[in-house]
Amino acid sequence: MHAQLIDDTNGSVLLGLTDKSKTVVTALKDAKTKTEKSKALGKVFAEQAKKKGASKIIFDRNGYIYHGRVKAFAEGAREGGLDF
């Protein structure tokens, strides 16, 4: 799974993470399933997004149905403090 925080007004990527990123791997070590990894990735994403000054975002699923890993990521991001 991968996620990006994009500033549409400037057309720039502020943050990009995957479940393979070095900064994320330690946070995901306790997760056993892909869904658990997605939720943990959402929490890490929220923490780093808040450091970039983003607290309210638009969640673009890019056509993916809101269930499973996508839903778990969104729940993790909300638990991490993002509002969308």
User: Please, what are the averages of pLDDT over each run of 10 residues along the chain (84 residues)?
Assistant: 92 93 86 93 95 92 93 96 94
Amino acid 18: pLDDT: 92
Torsion of CA 27, 32, 34, 36, to 10 degrees: -60
d(CA 45, CA 7): 15
- Single pTM value for the model: 0.91
Amino acid 15: pLDDT: 95
In a 10 Å sphere around its CB, with 0-12 CB exposed, 13-18 middle and 19+ buried, how is residue 44 labelled?
buried
Amino acid 82: pLDDT: 96
Amino acid 74: pLDDT: 97
In a 10 Å sphere around its CB, with 0-12 CB exposed, 13-18 middle and 19+ buried, how is residue 15 labelled?
middle
Amino acid 45: pLDDT: 95
Amino acid 24: pLDDT: 87
CATH architecture of 2-79: 2-Layer Sandwich (3.30)
Going from N- to C-terminal start, the domains of the chain cover 2-79
Decide: 81 and 50 in contact? Cβ < 8 Å: yes
Amino acid 26: pLDDT: 87
d(CA 19, CA 27): 10
